[in-house]
Amino acid sequence: MLRHRCLLGAALAATLLATPALAKDPAPQIGVAAQYDTTHVYVAPDDVEKFATSFLATFGGQSTKQVVATVTPTPSSTTSQLLQTPVGTVSLFGFKTGIPYPFGAERTGYLVTDLDAAIKAAKAAGADVVVAPFPDPIGRDAVIQWPGGVNMQLYWHTTKPSYAAFQTVPENRVYVSPGRADAFTRAFLRFSNGKVVSDDAKAPGVEIGRSSDHYRRIRIESAFGKMTVFVTDGHLPYPFGREMTGYEVADLKATLDKAKGTGATVLVEPFTSDRREQAVVQFPGGYVAEIHAVVK
């Protein structure tokens, strides 16, 4: 009996000692801010200028100087530039060579405070490293994959960048299956120190092109910005599932008029759901985006 009590006392003491340590050791904050996170857009070299012109005319902003560089760990050549707008940033690539695998499948680039720490945190959260860290002309990069098959690039700059905050924060639009939705959400929340803003099991199906149905929609916010997780059976009418980013604007009609005036096509005409007026657009070169305005 005495031995039993001693063991219980030791276990309780160990628990009490461990608890404060855990409280003082939260997951590291490796995200920087939403304005440092970009959507990766790949277009044919001949479409680079047309896309950049249309995208900037639609949303405003400016482009960095275009360079030709190798941005993959194996030999390749691409034009590269940032299109920085008040509502979202694009990393634009026009590959002059074949695109080495698995590049082109990653949807976003997230700036992190420390690439090695970010890789460690991603793996601990359940991500797979599909492209190990490699140097690029201005820093280091890696590509990770989350449960559900969502690829993202992480990057770190040798010289710390300084960008203005967005007027409205864009949303990363992620489509996953019901079988992997919870695993993806848990993993990303652990990695990003984010929070679930809403989890609607009966979101209106019109948001995924199925007006008579419902689906599950999860909204997440973190230092990396906003994310909307669309949990579907994959029965998606075109172009739903092709849009990687949603951009919030003040006036949807005026924005769509600008887009159409510079070569973009409205694939899904405006509709209203979840206090948003929203539409889906395809820009020159093939990039598909959701655009929405808050209904007041």
If you write DSSP's letter for every residue of 125-176 in order, what string do you get?
Answer: HT-EEEEEEEEETTEEEEEEEETTTEEEEEEEESSPP--PPPSS--EEEEEE
Q: What percent of the chain clears pLDDT 90, i.e. is strictly above it?
A: 90
pLDDT value at residue 28: 76
Contact yes or no for 174/164 (Cβ under 8 A): no
pLDDT the model gives residue 18: 38
Say what the pLDDT of residue 8 is.
40
3-class DSSP assignment, residue 204: strand
Task: Enumerate residues 6+ apart whose C-beta is below 8 A from 163.
Answer: 35, 36, 84, 89
Beta strand residue intervals within the chain, DSSP E:
37-42, 62-63, 67-69, 78-85, 88-95, 108-111, 128-136, 139-146, 150-157, 171-176, 195-204, 214-222, 225-231, 245-248, 265-273, 276-282, 288-294
Cα separation, 180 vs 148, in Å, equals 5
For 232, how many CA atoms within 13 A lie in the half-sphere containing its CB? 22
pTM: 0.90
Q: Residue 121 carries which DSSP code?
A: H
Question: Taking residues 16-38, what's their average pLDDT?
Answer: 67
The pLDDT tens digits of the residues spanning 121-157 come to 999 999 999 999 999 999 999 999 999 999 999 999 9
Q: Is 90 helix (H, G, I), strand (E, B) or coil?
A: strand
- The average pLDDT across 180-191 equals 98
Q: Which of 23-32, 42-51, 114-123, 209-218 has the lowest mean pLDDT?
A: 23-32
Under the banding of pLDDT at 50, 70 and 90, the label for residue 243 is very high
pLDDT band per the 50, 70, 90 thresholds, residue 296 = confident
